[in-house]
Amino acid sequence: MKKNKKKNLLNPITVIILFILLTLGISTLFSLLGKIEINNTYPFSFLSQGTYSVIDTTTGDVTNELVEVDSLLNAEGIQYIAGNLVSNFVSFAPLAVLLIALIGISVMEKSGLLKSLMSLFNPNTPNWFFTALIIFVGVISTLISDVGYVFTIPIAAIMFLLLKRHPVGGIVSAFAGVAGGYGINIMIGNVDNSLLLYTNYASKILDPRYDVSIWGNIIFMIIATILIVVIGTIVTEKIVIPKLPRRNIEYDELIILQKKEKRGLWMALVMAVVLTSIFIYMIIPNLPGSGILLDKTQSGYINQLLSSTSYFQLGLVGLISAIILLSSVFYGFGARTIKNDNDIINFITSSKNNVGYLILLLFFASQFIDIFKRTNLGTIVNVWFVNILNTLNVSGLPLVVLFFIFVLIGNLFLPSYITKWSILAPSVVPLFMQSSMTPEFAQMIYRCAISSSNLITPLLAFYVIYLGYLQIYTKQEDVITIGKSFKLTMPYFLFFSLIYIVLIIIWYVAGLPLGPNIFPTM
């Protein structure tokens, strides 16, 4: 009976196809309901359209924009779907960065570099240390773009295998670190730079003299990062791993480092230091031949480094993969695990054999996410919440809690943190300022809320990387359903959400500094 139940589980690809059909049906239904007229009124118009404020990021002007649900069950919609099948897949961000990242990761694994690095640790090092390390690296990786998803998840799986632990534990903890820690960090990163623009312009709607500080969340972020790593480690060790099936898995053995492995590690270290130094020099301004990865058209170093048009941002995945690849090659030559160029090519191509299912997942996920975005359903949901906040006329702690909940739910339908903040900021930031709360505090609440619900939304583009690796490292007769993938992340979602909202309330009530000379209240 149990076996039959497993066979009847829907494959994630099938579920994604059903999500597409459901999206098409709901968008059509909402569009039709919005056109129903009763007594010269349209009582269901809120289902099909909404108006929100838009900030011109060049001039700072605020205008109102009407958004309508776009039904794709018509000739124009079908043409759109058919005409964008290829472009959606080719331009899907997770696809390209995954393939580039795997070039470096595959050679790192096959050459034995990762195994030798793990062997450097004391054999008595507790398992929780590696779990905490994975989650911490996942959070830190969010400093710059989404590289953590494509590097941390596969490396974490390999690390858990080397530790003779179920690789799913590594995959889930890595995803929890990257997705659940996306809005926090111990340093200023891409998220800060992206949100600052809208927060600053939104603050000037009420006070033209107010300047939002890019360091305005740093103290809160450091404390939150430490707590998320601690709580994430406890959840992994005490809740997630004990529930993983105990079965025979092929584990690699850690080794006692011999002369050749030590030689390889030294060669890899030298190469990594040289390449990293060159990399760093290319982002330092005003030195001879330096700064070539900066976008010199931007004003200010932070913008030159972290803007979406900087060469640093655009080439980061390739640069990291190149450092890993060349360091692994030098390790291989030193440790005699690589003898010629054919070995390198074979290492790279062998890794690609394991990702066929993941590529297929990426194809269908790219179609689903694009179709959902095209319908404007996610935007409409977030506009609802903006209107509710404005209508309720709440302030103080109720406003703080409601805003956190609304962002958390809205992020499930629109996980693009920049797009969503561009919709929310023009209304929410002035609302907070009218309640004598700082724009930086509103931004901090927003960051915490999106971090929590990143863990449980299938519309997060990089969620499919997590889902695909769960399947790769699970026995073929088992199906990792979308429901099971979220069941694994649900404990992190619940505990992270609780930690975030408790921290926010403590900061508000106690008036603790969010950053240097920046507090929750004005």
- Please say if the pLDDT value at position 77 is more than 50: yes
Is the predicted pLDDT of residue 353 greater than 50, yes or no? yes
pLDDT in the model for residue 1? 38
Q: Which tokens hold the place of 93?
A: 């961000």
- Position 84 scores a pLDDT of 94
Q: How far is CA 463 from CA 55, 221, 406, in A?
A: 30, 23, 21
CA–CA dist 214, 200 (Å, integer): 10
List, in sequence order, the alpha helices (H) in 181-282. 190-203, 218-235, 241-243, 259-281
Q: Place 79 in a pLDDT band, splitting at 50, 70 and 90.
A: very high
Angstrom distance (rounded) from CA 202 to CA 441: 13
Report the C-alpha gap between 92 and 520 in whole angstroms: 38
Domain limits of the chain?
A: 2-510
Q: What is the DSSP string of 37-90?
A: -BTTB-TTGGGTEEEEEEE-TTT--EEEEEEE----SSHHHHHHHHHTHHHHHH
Q: Mean pLDDT across the stretch 2-24?
A: 80
Burial of residue 179 (CB within 10 Å: 0-12, 13-18, 19+) is buried
pLDDT at site 2? 43
| Mean pLDDT, the chain, integer | 91
pLDDT, tens only, 215-268: 999 999 999 999 999 999 999 999 999 998 775 566 666 667 889 999 999 999
With residue 360 as reference, give the H or E element that holds it: helix 356-375
pLDDT at residue 186 is higher than 80: yes
Is the pLDDT confidence value at 61 over 50?
Answer: yes
Whether residue 172 contacts residue 236, with contact meaning beta carbons closer than 8 Å, is answered with yes
Beta bridge partners of 38: 41
Q: What is the mean pLDDT of residues 16-29?
A: 96
Q: What is the pLDDT of residue 37?
A: 85
At 3 the pLDDT is 46
Judged against a pLDDT cut of 90, whether residue 60 lies above it is answered with no
Which pLDDT score, from 0 to 100, does residue 477 have? 52
The pair of structure tokens assigned to 76 is 């124009």
- Contact indicator for 391, 370 with CB cutoff of 8 Å: no
* Percentage of the chain modeled with pLDDT above 90: 69
Across the range 35-46, mean pLDDT stands at 86
Tokens 């996610």 sit at which residue?
378
More confident residue, 393 or 373: 373
Once rounded to an integer, what is the mean pLDDT over residues 298-327? 87
Alpha carbon separation from 502 to 383, 448, 496 (Å, rounded) = 26, 11, 10
Q: What is the pLDDT of residues 277-295, one digit of tens each?
A: 999 999 999 888 888 999 9
Q: Is the pLDDT of residue 514 over 80?
A: yes
Residue 300 contacts by C-beta under 8 Å, 6 or more apart in sequence? none
Alpha carbon 461 to its chain centroid, in Å, reads 8
In the predicted model, what is the mean pLDDT of residues 364-389?
95
